[in-house]
Amino acid sequence: MTQEAIKRVETYGTPLYVFDAKVLQERIRYLKAHLPEAIELAYAVKANPFIIGAAEPFVERLEICSPGEAEICLKMQVPAQKMVISGVYKTPAFIEALVREHPDIGVYTVESLAQYRLLTQLAKQSGQRLELLLRMTSGNQFGMEEQEVTAILANPDPCVHIRGIQFFSGTQKTSLKKMQRELLRVQTVLERYPVEELEFGPGFPVYYFEGEDFDEDAYLDTFAEMIRPLMTGRKVVLELGRSIAAGCGTYYTRVVDQKRNREGNFALVDGGIHQIAYYGQFMAMKMPPIETEPPRARDGEVWNICGSLCTINDILIKQLPAEGLAVGDILSFGKAGAYSMTEGMALFLSRDLPAVVLTTEAGDVLLRDHTETYGLNMPQ
Amino acid sequence: MDELLEILEEIAPGVDFENCTTLIDDHKLDSLAILALVAELEDAFDITIPTVEIIPANFNSAEAMWEMVERLQEEA
């Protein structure tokens, strides 16, 4: 760990999330450099709402999937034109308020025929010609069937403007072959119905664990060639969350107790699985990017790193080689910028939420202090 | 060892348990399979497999699993 990082941990205390604005901005620059120039990016704020302010100037849109996310974006002064109001559950009250108070919202997505009826009705009532993207399903609870999408495209309600199609089939898309098949499906629909825009979520993978190899340059270059044909005569916006956010985040937790018994060595930390999760860590068997401070030799005795929850499942890492690991040591977990914070069972045991700091060239900004949750777990 | 192979073949048919040494690393067994397997092994061999023993070193091959089973039987 750098002296700067150590000082930061001492200043703000553990458990702590640090998001690096410079790393984030570099990441967006890198992605854009490997994609066709005319491609636009939509940042899916669900991956990490704390970095909305740092990301916003560098992306063309922000994808919002709940009233809470909309509130955050509005409070962070995201320009309304950059907002994509997405989400499988949209209440009339929520959409009505947005239409009324923010007439220049960029675009609304349509996840179902009921949502289409809601949006066309609100468009009529308000006199605003709402911009819509029709989400086509990949075969799950999201989006509409191809026939439903094409039926709307063949006969759109004049009160709304059908800007185009949205398609997203999942995260961690390691197989470009599978993605190619999906793109061909989308392309056949687009060729029959000329629309201005395709919003596509490619689900670029993030390789978190030791022993995994990924030539990201080659992956992106291949993807760029695959997406190019769909750009003819229309705008393509890529929705990304994990790929944008993962790399900018680090989670810090401190060893607070130690024990050795016949099962092995256990180091207890002040954080735990209520605060951090890695997608695909496979029962804590896979090793994410870890550093210890003071640096401990990565051989010799192995430690099971367990969190502060009273459940046998609270194991962050199994058998971490860390010779001489001691109480007071800091563990830092890398690539924790996307979803890691919110995929844990945050309210369990009524433990505090970790502090969150944004580090920028101008210095550190405390975005959220350590926050108690017990008030939420009792009668209000 | 034969009993172990039988259990493995029932939980994840079609995997080459005789030869594969990357059952975990290559995700030939997923989390559900591992949990089912642990329950079966505990039952069949009268052992307790602590969570911290569920690691690649012990589950990447049938041979590694068998070594773990024998060790846990001895320790009991």
Residues B31, A282: C-beta atoms closer than 8 Å: yes
pLDDT band for position B76 (50/70/90)? confident
* Model pLDDT for residues A183-238, shown as the tens digit of each residue: 999 999 999 999 999 999 999 999 999 988 899 999 999 999 999 999 999 999 99
pLDDT band for position A263 (50/70/90)? confident
Average pLDDT along chain A: 96
Q: Torsions phi, psi of A130, nearest 5?
A: -65, 145
Residues from A contacting B (CB-CB < 8 Å) are: 211, 262-264, 266, 282-283, 285, 304, 312-313, 315, 318-319
Average pLDDT score over residue span A298-318: 94
Instruction: List CB contacts (< 8 A) between B31 and chain A.
Output: 282-283
Specify the pLDDT at position A262.
87
pLDDT band for position A337 (50/70/90)? very high
Query: Before A294, cis peptide (omega within 30)?
Result: yes
Residues B51, A319: C-beta atoms closer than 8 Å: no
Mutation site for B-interface testing, chosen from A175, A282, A306 by largest number of B Cβ within 10 Å: A282
Residues A319, B24: C-beta atoms closer than 8 Å: no
Mutation site for A-interface testing, chosen from B23, B30, B52 by largest number of A Cβ within 10 Å: B52
Apex B26 CA angle, B40 and A271, nearest 5: 75
Instruction: List CB contacts (< 8 A) between A312 and chain B.
Output: 51
* Model pLDDT for residues A66-88, shown as the tens digit of each residue: 999 999 999 999 999 999 999 99
pLDDT band for position A172 (50/70/90)? very high
The two tokens of residue A126 are 């308000």
* Model pLDDT for residues B14-31, shown as the tens digit of each residue: 999 999 999 998 889 999
Specify the pLDDT at position A213.
86
* Model pLDDT for residues A75-124, shown as the tens digit of each residue: 999 999 999 999 999 999 999 999 999 999 999 999 999 999 999 999 99
Q: Give the CA dihedral A181, A136, A104, A71, nearest 10 degrees.
A: -100
Average pLDDT score over residue span A334-352: 95
Closest residue of chain B to A317, computed from CA coordinates: B52
Nearest to A304 by CA among A293, A292, A318: A318
Confirm whether pTM is higher than 0.90: yes
Cα distance between residue A259 and residue A311, in whole Å: 16
Closest residue of chain A to B31, computed from CA coordinates: A282
Neighbours of A238 (CB within 10 A): 24
Q: How many residues does chain B have?
A: 76
ipTM: 0.85
Name which of A264, A283, A319 is nearest B31 (Cβ-Cβ): A283
Assess whether pLDDT exceeds 90 at residue B11: yes
* Model pLDDT for residues A281-295, shown as the tens digit of each residue: 989 999 999 999 999
Q: Bridge partners of A358?
A: A19, A365
Specify the pLDDT at position B71.
95
- The helix (H) or strand (E) run that includes residue A97 is helix A92-101
CA A71 to chain CA centroid, nearest Å: 17
Assess whether pLDDT exceeds 90 at residue A374: yes
Q: In sequence order, which residues have a C-beta less than 8 Å from that of residue A376 and are 6 or more positions away?
A: A347
Average pLDDT score over residue span B53-68: 96
Average pLDDT score over residue span B41-60: 94
Q: How close B28 gets to chain A, by Cα (Å)?
A: 12
Name which of A283, A312, A315 is nearest B34 (Cβ-Cβ): A283
The two tokens of residue A153 are 């495209």
Q: How close A318 gets to chain B, by Cα (Å)?
A: 6
Work out the burial of residue A367: count CB atoms within 10 Å of its CB; fewer than 13 is exposed, 13-18 middle, 19 or more buried: middle
Q: In sequence order, which residues have a C-beta less than 8 Å from that of residue A113 and are 6 or more positions away?
A: A144, A148
A to B CB pairs, distance under 8 Å: 30
* Model pLDDT for residues A148-171, shown as the tens digit of each residue: 999 999 999 999 999 999 999 889
Assess whether pLDDT exceeds 90 at residue A349: yes
The two tokens of residue A334 are 């890398």
Residue recorded with tokens 């470009």: A176
